[in-house]
Structure formats: structure tokens, C-alpha cells
Chains A and B, each alone.
Chain A
Amino acid sequence: MNVSLILILLLVGAIATYLAGDKLASKVALFFSLASLGGSIVLLNHFNLGENISFISQWINKPNISFALKADGLAIALLLLTTALTPLIIYSSFSTTYKNAKAFYALVLFMSFALVGTFLAADGLLYYIFWELSLIPIYFIALIWGNGDLEERKKAVVKFFIYTLAGSLFMLVSFVYLYQKAGSLLVDDLYKLNLTEAEQCWIFLAFLAAYAIKIPLIPFHTWQANVYQKAPTTGTMLLSGIMLKMGLYSIIRWQLPIAPLAAKEYMDVLIGLGIAGVIYGSIVALRQADLKKLLAYSSLAHVGLIAAGTYTLTLDGLRGSVLQMVAHGFIVVGLFFVAEIIFRRYETRVISEMGGIRTQSPKLTSLFLLIVLASIALPSTLNFVGEFTLLYSLSEINIWYALLGGSTLILGAYYMLKMFQYVMLGETNSRIFKDITFNEGFTLVIVVAVLFVFGMYPKPIVDLITPSLENILTQINRFN
């Protein structure tokens, strides 16, 4: 039994969903995504028992490319995040009816397939292929099923596509260059390379072009808010919940260990960019009138902090970054889903047109409050664990970084609570707000439960990821 099983499940699921027809599509998709979640939990068990669940086989002889999937703790954590969020995202869209649902859900599963592949791939080219493959489904999801004016949406989506593709082509060039040096693209062979500092700088920057756009880091973030706003909620959840973790994960897996000297060289600049993203995102979020855009900018702020922590090159930074990736994945799914729930009833995303929902739907109010509190890193939530570790790692480098980064907590608390106040509280809204359905409530309860359970007991995740992060850290420090 090995990890290729999950990939096969998701791919077969995508085809089966398409063949199942419009009526059954969502259920078939849910079934296959749950099956892949079950599969990944079984694999986690095998992994914890010390079995080898990696998979490798020769693919192309010349150039020497293998179909290699490597499952260490880090990859498994992201694999679980993906396979846990996919059924949740599919389930959350049950009450929406999409035109041509079979194609829609097939694309969602295909996207999940590409994402899982990106997290597991241990060969540079295979990794690149999955990385690019994940772009195609999200492009069509946002283009065909998105909302708002078609012309504007087209512009936003095409910009997103060309932007991300442009970034990743530079990564491809550096992979080709690395292949010339190593004669193979297996990640372990690439770790062994002894590149000069100048080579490392070029490779580091080429990788950065791909990752900074995907994450996104300031100043490469301009595609983000528009696409989040225009995409259907399912697409936004996929993008913000899982897809931007691709960039962060890739920094840890590929960029830092392959070019550690450059990482040290540019450390201050990159931490600075990350923190600039925190401050910029928070300030812009303060001024947003559109709920989805506000959430997009708050996501920009959180992700900036994760990136800054990752580039500290400390064990705490890497660990905090992975913890926060998991927390952020669940939190944005929850937040965007609440925006969708309100949109289903009020047909608006403008904050000033909401308000007074509390008395009409106490259940939604309390669940939303818990999610908002988690997103501003209330102690006992997973976000707190993550952000605290990240800030601690920043303070190890320079206390000022931690202080500046910490401002995200205060600003975040301010605009999130203000948003909550305007959206939910106030005088009872004259328009009727139907109470949430079981489907909606259940999705939110799962999000809250995950965040609080792991917030109080993060040890399983920490134990899972720490050994692999320590390995990567020894690779990063191999030149000292």
C-alpha cells in the first residue's frame, strides 16, 4: 500500500463524477473525496507504524525522470489537509445547484488530484507537472461558474493564469539547469548538489518568481483579491484553502534546501516582504466594503506572516508555518463559507447591506463568532499555536520583526471584530434571514471542531511534521 493510491482514487473519482451525470455528480464526488480521506488516514497509520509508503518507478529514460512520490511527515500533513478539505468543500456546495454539475465536480476532484500530486511529488519534473496541472481546473471553475460581470471576470482569471504560468516557467528553467548539474531531478539528489553561491542565488530567485506569485507575496499579489471575489465560493475555498499552500510548502520542500546560501543571503528582504504583506493586507482589509474582498486581504496578511516565519530558517519557523498552513486552510474555508451562507439569503456581499442577523439566526452567529475568534488567534485555537510559534521564530531573528508581525494580531482582531459587528449584530434586519440548514451547520461545526481540538492538543501534528522538518533543516545548514 502506498501513496499513489490516493492519486488513483481522486483521478478515478473525477472521471466517475463526470460519467455519473448532473444529478448524482455531487454525491459521487463526495464519496470519492471521503474515500481518499479514509485512504490517507489509513496511510497515516501505516506511516506511523514505520512502514514505507513512498512510491517510485522509472518514467522517462532520457532525460532521467522518475515517477517518484515521497511521503514524509510534512507531505502527509499537507496530504491530509487536502483530502480533509476537499470533501468539506464539496459538501458545503450541496445546497448550491451548478449548471453542468458533472463537469464542475469532476474539475474539483481533478484539482484535488493535482494538489495532492504537488505535495507528494519527489521528482522535480513530476512536481512541476502537477503544479501546472492544478492551474487548469481552477481556471475553468473560476471562468465558467464564477460570479459578477463576465468581461471583468475574464480579465481577472486570465491575468491570474498568465501571471502564475509566467512565474512557474522560470521555475522550469531552473529545474532544467539543476538537471544539467545533477543528472536527475529526484529531490534527494538535488539536496546533495554543491552549487556555488551565485548559482544558488539565480535558482532561488527563479523559484521565488513562482512561489511569490502563488502565495502571494507583496508586490505579486494583485491578482488575488479580484480572483477570490469573482470565483465561485467553491473555487475561492480551493484557491485560498489549499492552492496557496502549494507555494508555502514548495518553499520548505524545494527552495530552501536546494539554495540555502541564497536563502540566508536574502533572508532579511524576504522576511521584510512577508511582514510588509501582513501590514499592507491588514490596512487594506480595514477599508473593504465587500465581504469576500475583506477576507481575501485578511488572508494575504496571514499568509505574509507564514512566509516570513518560513524564511527565518529556524525549526520553530518551519513548524509554525506548517501548523499555520493547516489552521489557515480550515479557517478560510469556514470564513468564505459564512460569506456564501449570507449571500444565499441576502444576495449581497456588501457589508453595509448586512447586519441584524444575530436574532434571526443565533446558531450561525455563534459558529461565525467562534471562527472569527479563531482567525484572530484566540488562545486554545490552532491559529494561536501557529501564529505564536511563527512570532517566536521571528523574535529569534530580530525582536522588531516579531513586534511588527505581531501587529497583525491586533489589527486583525480590530477589523475582524468590526466586520462581525456590522455583519451580524445591530438592530434586527427587516429582511428575513432563514436559519442555517443542517448541511451548512455541519460544515461549520467541523471547521470549528478541528480548529479547537487541535488548538488544545496540537501534539499529533507537531509529532508528525517535526522529524521531516528537522531533516530539511539539516539540509539547509549543510554548507555551514
Chain B
Amino acid sequence: MNTLIAIIGLGVLCLLFEILNFRKAIIPITILGLLAVLGLTVSEFNSTEAYYNNMLVVSKFSVAFSSLFIVLTIFLVALSHNFYENHPAKISDFIAIKIFMLAGSVAMVSFGNLAMFFLGIEILSISLYVLAASDRLSLKSNEAGMKYFLMGSFASGILLFGICLIYGAMGTFDIAEISELSRSAELPVWFTIGIILVTIGMFFKIAAVPFHFWAPDVYEGSPALTTATMSTLAKVVAMATLYKLLTTMNADISYPFQIVIVVISMASMTVGNIMALRQTNVKRMLAFSGISHAGFMIMTLLSVSTSASSLLYYASAYSLAGIAAFSVILYVCKNRDNEDITNFHGLGKTNPLLAVILTGALLSMAGIPIFSGFFAKLILFDQTIKAGYLVLVIVAVVNSIISVGYYFKLILAMFAKESNEERTGTPFIIYAVAIIAIVLNIALGLYPSFVLDLLG
């Protein structure tokens, strides 16, 4: 609760700085503020409390995920410094929108009431629409923003319809009461329909097949930093929320529903990976890779009672690797009009450190040991086999092999091709973010227990 208030306060402060003409201090102060908020959040870890008639419920789950979101936001804010160099006048807007987005994310994982959940998801989505279209002179960015807005508002409509049906069936928005009622009596059929509609809305947000069509275009068109935000923070937030929705409202997921999840998971992995093989634009490739990772994360829905910590672990591993990868992409593609793979040629010679970091990030996403991406997949496989879906695990393994194909395409481009031009400048902040993200990723790989024991 205090976290949410502090974050919103920080966002307002950002806007005030604009008025007071403190633009230069915005990023350092925001980062310090976010670090303080992180401390505040962590200190709430062991308390379970409900605020405002169960509107917000602070639990271990919400605190753990909120901390992850705050860490990701710190990275994204730090990267803004370099990214918005050419737009100094608007920097406070961009930062403030990111902070408000974080507020939406925190609301989404700590909701206790469906109204609060919807409020959170709208804050998050609207911030993202704005950020996607934020490069207002670029046609591609405008197109991306428009596409995302149209598809996103449609999904919000479906989500809202689902919430209404659930209200119609249960007569309440309160999660705890719905959970109670769903266990006891005969359920009206529209409760199930409502759950399905809400799930579909969330599948849209995490870009799972067959609700993924917006992702590649929007990822490609948006400014690179927004793409980074969408593929790390937004995806993880939506996944955590979907998990929370399904665990609290629908504790014993029925068998047909599980089969649907299995099918969607398989389809997301396979479609995402196979499409990614053909891409030459790195952002587009990572969009498809993100779709396949969504497929992996959906696997946690098959063993909801035990998989909270493995979802947290997978989300951390994936998003940290994503941050490291995107910081290198931001560096390489700065002042370029596209993000084609040719831009990465010879990076291994001109800038070995960043090339190694990007290699590490890609290896983590591919699930090669010692990077935390490997343990994330391992633990997921372990739980899914325990839940009795050996076939799904085998499909996932085959997909891991396919994914190596396109991750290595990028690695090959960096190390085995000659560079076509010199790169100059070594922006300190990009280096710092990339190194910290990949070191955190490896550290999670060396001590998985640190995260895995958090949520019991």
C-alpha cells in the first residue's frame, strides 16, 4: 500500500520537476526514489494486510513481484537518459509515464477487488499506448501506437465483459468472496464464461498465440526503449496478474480448461519460435521470442498451487536477460532508422564487452546452463512433469532446440561477420545497466534458492 502511494508521489514529483525546471536532476532523483521505494516494499515482505475494504491486499506474492517490477523500472529509467538525449524537453513526461505505469503494475499484482484490477490494467495499458506512439514524428511509431491502442482497447472490452459476467454470477467484485463462492455452490454457467473472457483478455496482454498478432508490428514500430518496456515489464506484469486471477478465483482449474492451456502454451512456443527463425529485424525477432517465452510461462498455470515461485523465477530470469539484451540493442541501434541484424555485424570486434553481454543474455533466453534461464526452464519442466504433462515438456524441449537457431543467428552476426562501420562513444549508463542486469541474471543462476524459496 505504502509502495503504491510512494510510487505515485514520485510520479507527481517528476511532473513538478518539469515546472521547476530541474530537468537534469530528474533521472538520478527518480532512481534514488525508486531505490527507496524498493526498500520500503521489501520491508513489507512478511506482512499480509488488506486496505480500503479489500481493494488492495499486500501479500508475499504481491511484494515479491512488485519488487521485481521496481527493479525493472529502475533499469528502464536509467536507460532513458541515453535514449531521450535528443528530446531533453520531454524527458519528465517520459519518466513520469514510466513511473505511473509502475503504479499500475503494482496495483495489478496486489488487487483484492476486480475493479482495482481493471484500474491497474488500464493505467498500465494507457501508459504503454502513449509510450508506443511517443516518437511522434515517426510514422512507424504512430502506427504502432494506433495498432496497439485499437487491439488493446478491444481486449480491455473483452476483459470488462468477463468481469461483468463474473459479477453477475457472484454478486461481488471482491476476490476473496468470489473465491469462497466458487468453491461452494452450483456455479452459473456465465461464471465460467466470465473466467474464460478474462483469461482471453490477459492472453492478449501477454501476447500468447492466437492473440499475438499485434506484438511483432507494435514491437518493431515502437521506439526501442518502449519495446524493451513492453517485452520485459509489461509481459511479466500481465503474466503475474493472470496467475493471480486464476489461482484466487478458480482454485481448482477444471480439466478441459487445462487442456486449453496446454494447447495455447504449445501453440505459443511453436509459432513464436518458428516465426522468429525467419526474422531479420532484431526487435521483431525478440517479439516472437517473447511470444514463445509467454508459452513457457503459461505452463505454470498447470500446477497453480505450487508454481508461484517458479513463475517469479522465470519472470526474473527472462526480464533480466531482456533488459541486458535491450540495453545493447539501444546502444547499437542508436541513431539508426532500423534494427536490422546487419547493424550487429562485427560487434564482437568493435565492442567485445557488449557483444559478450548480449551473447550471455541470448544464451540465458535459450536456456543454456549457469544463466538463470536454464534453471527457470528446468524448474518449470520439473513441475509440469509432476503435474502429468510429459508431452508438453517434450514439445517445450524441442522448442528450446529451435530457439537456439535464431539466438545463434545474432551471436554469429556479432562474432563471425566483419563490421561495416566504426562505433564511437561508450555511454557509461548503458554499460552499467547491461552489466548489472547480466550479473544479476548469472547470480540468480548460481543461487536459485534465493528466489525459489521466497514464495514457499
Contact = CB atoms under 8 A, between A and B. Distances in A.
Which of B381, B400, B416 has the largest number of chain A CB atoms within 10 A?
A: B416
B370 A60 contact: no
A173 B378 CA distance: 9
A162 B452 contact: no
Given A60-B448, A173-B381, A180-B386, A165 B416 contact: no
Interface stretch (B110-118, B237-245, B284-292, B404-412): B404-412
Which of B352, B363, B386, B449 has the largest number of chain A CB atoms within 10 A?
A: B449
A60 to B, nearest CB: 5
> SS class of chain A's interface: helix, strand, loop or mixed?
helix
A63 B379 contact: yes
Contacts of A169: 397, 400-401
Interface residues of A, number: 32
Interface in B362-410: 363, 368-370, 374-375, 378-379, 381-382, 385-386, 390, 393-394, 397, 400-401, 404-405, 408
Which of A133, A162, A176, A177 has the largest number of chain B CB atoms within 10 A?
A: A176
Contacts, number: 72
A454 interface: no
Nearest to B456: A62
B379 A172 contact: no
B415 interface: yes
B404 A162 contact: yes
B369 A133 contact: yes
Contact of B378 (A135, A153, A172, A177): A172
Given A62-B452, A143-B412, A161 B404 contact: yes
Interface string B178-200: 00000000000000000000000
Interface stretch (A124-132, A232-240, A400-408): A124-132
A176 B448 contact: no
Contacts of B400: 169
A162 B393 CA distance: 19
Contacts of B382: 63, 176, 179-180
B408 A132 contact: no
Contact of A136 (B363, B412, B416, B449): B363
A61 B378 contact: no
Contacts of A179: 382
Given A154-B412, A166-B401, A173 B449 contact: no
B397 A172 contact: yes
A254 interface: no
Contacts of B370: 129, 133
Interface in A129-172: 129, 132-133, 135-136, 140, 143-144, 150, 153-154, 158, 161-162, 165-166, 169-170, 172
B453 A61 contact: yes
Contacts of A125: 378
Contacts of A170: 397
A449 to B, nearest CB: 38
A165 B400 CA distance: 9
A397 B397 CA distance: 37
B354 to A, nearest CB: 15
Contact of A62 (B369, B415, B449): B449
A448 to B, nearest CB: 37
Interface residues of B, number: 30
Contacts of A62: 449, 452-453
A121 B369 CA distance: 15
Interface in A200-252: none
Contacts of B401: 162, 165-166, 169
B449 A60 contact: yes
A111 to B, nearest CB: 14
B378 A136 contact: no
A393 B319 CA distance: 54
Contacts of A61: 449, 452-453
Given A125-B378, A136-B363, A165-B401, A180 B412 contact: no
Contact of B385 (A136, A158, A180): A180
Given A63-B379, A150-B416, A173 B397 contact: yes
Interface string A427-442: 0000000000000000
Nearest to B375: A60
Contacts of B397: 169-170, 172-173
Contacts of A176: 378, 381-382, 385, 393
Interface in B88-122: none
Contacts of A173: 381, 393-394, 397
B451 to A, nearest CB: 11
Contacts of A60: 375, 448-449, 452
Contacts of B453: 61-62
B405 A129 contact: no
Contacts of B368: 132, 135-136, 165
Contact of A144 (B386, B415, B448): B415
A389 B381 CA distance: 42
Contacts of B378: 125, 172, 176
A63 B453 CA distance: 10
A104 to B, nearest CB: 13
Contacts of B369: 128-129, 132-133
Nearest to B348: A144
Nearest to B306: A62
Contacts of A59: 449
Given A61-B453, A128-B369, A169-B397, A162 B363 contact: no
Given A129-B369, A173-B394, A161 B363 contact: no
Interface string A64-76: 0000000000000
Contacts of A143: 412, 415-416
A158 B410 CA distance: 12
A62 to B, nearest CB: 6
Contacts of B374: 129, 132
Nearest to B397: A169
A140 to B, nearest CB: 7
A103 B415 CA distance: 13
A272 B352 CA distance: 47
A150 B412 CA distance: 11
Contacts of A162: 401, 404-405, 408
A251 to B, nearest CB: 21
Interface of A: 59-63, 103, 125, 128-129, 132-133, 135-136, 140, 143-144, 150, 153-154, 158, 161-162, 165-166, 169-170, 172-173, 176-177, 179-180
21 contacts: A59-B449, A61-B449, A125-B378, A129-B370, A133-B369, A133-B370, A135-B368, A143-B415, A143-B416, A144-B348, A144-B416, A158-B412, A165-B368, A169-B397, A172-B381, A173-B381, A173-B397, A176-B382, A177-B390, A179-B382, A180-B386
Q: Which 6 A-B pairs have the closest CB atoms?
A: A129-B369, A166-B401, A132-B369, A169-B397, A61-B449, A60-B449
Given A62-B449, A153-B416, A177-B390, 10 more contacts: A61-B449, A62-B453, A125-B378, A129-B369, A129-B374, A132-B369, A161-B404, A176-B385, A179-B382, A180-B386
